């Protein structure tokens, strides 16, 4: 693999956990559990390929509309995952950051997130972002409110608002925009994910369900990325 063409940042929509479970006549929650176990494997594979940033869509602002039993199970799984992530982040030298509005999560989850980010902040390996209670429209709305308040108090002039200023008020401030977006399970839409940040990313859709997504599948996605001619709106 040509190092210069490895994407620096890969965003992934983890889709297909429920269908994976249904194919095996298991409850949907079993699919979510299997999917969570796949996260560390793909993060390790990404780092070994030379990818520096991975952002995964774990729970969206729209996911609250799912059946209460499933939402409760997902929250329980998140509790367990974040606890395990404290160990895996240290083991894998991984810096973990959560994007999204965590104020809507329960207090214990918020505390675990803050602790995880604090403990892993100095790690020098993969930068791993987890999108929890995340929706891109909500993120943009919150950034607009923040910018509007700065204009209101006089610390920012409207004519000084640039794309960089907007980016600096998003949840992903300080993180490079994704070069490649992967969505598993055959669906071909963004589902309110990183709408600002994915403006010039390459999109790769695969029918593979997330729990089955392997290092080889990640390799195929990267090879697809390598085949693309990225012009960013210009001409070569």
Residues annotated as catalytic (active site), given as ranges: 15, 63
Q: Which two structure tokens, joined as six digits, stand for 45?
A: 């594979």
* Residue 215 contacts residue 41 (beta carbons within 8 Å): yes
Q: Which residues of 87-112 are buried (b: 16+ CB within 10 A; e: fewer)?
A: ebbeebebbbbbbbbbeebeeebeeb
Q: Which residue has the tokens 């923040």?
A: 146
DSSP assigned state of 212:
G
Residue 129, strand partner residues: 55, 97
Q: Which residue has the tokens 């729970």?
A: 59
* Residue 140 contacts residue 197 (beta carbons within 8 Å): no
Q: Which residue has the tokens 């029918």?
A: 207
């Amino acid at each position: 693999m040509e190092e210069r063409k490895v994407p620096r940042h890969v965003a992934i929509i983890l889709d297909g956990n429920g269908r994976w479970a249904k194919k095996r006549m298991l409850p949907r929650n079993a699919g979510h559990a299997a999917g969570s176990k796949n996260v560390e494997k793909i993060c390790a594979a990404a780092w070994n390929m030379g990818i520096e940033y991975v952002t995964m869509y774990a729970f969206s602002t729209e996911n609250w509309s799912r059946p209460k039993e499933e939402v409760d199970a997902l929250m329980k799984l998140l509790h367990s995952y974040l606890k395990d992530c404290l160990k895996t982040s240290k083991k894998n030298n991984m810096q973990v950051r959560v994007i999204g509005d965590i104020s809507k999560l329960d207090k214990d989850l918020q505390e675990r997130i803050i602790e995880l980010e604090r403990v892993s902040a100095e790690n020098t390996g993969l930068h791993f972002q987890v999108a929890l209670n995340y929706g891109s429209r909500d993120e943009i709305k919150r950034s607009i409110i923040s910018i509007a308040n700065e204009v209101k108090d006089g610390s920012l002039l409207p004519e000084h608002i640039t794309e960089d200023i907007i980016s600096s008020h998003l949840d992903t401030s300080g993180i490079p925009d994704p070069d490649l977006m992967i969505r598993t399970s055959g669906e071909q839409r963004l589902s309110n994910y990183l709408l600002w940040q994915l403006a010039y990313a390459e999109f790769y859709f695969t029918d593979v369900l997330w729990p089955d997504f392997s290092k080889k599948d990640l390799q195929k996605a990267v090879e697809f990325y390598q085949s693309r001619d990225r012009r960013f709106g210009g001409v070569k």
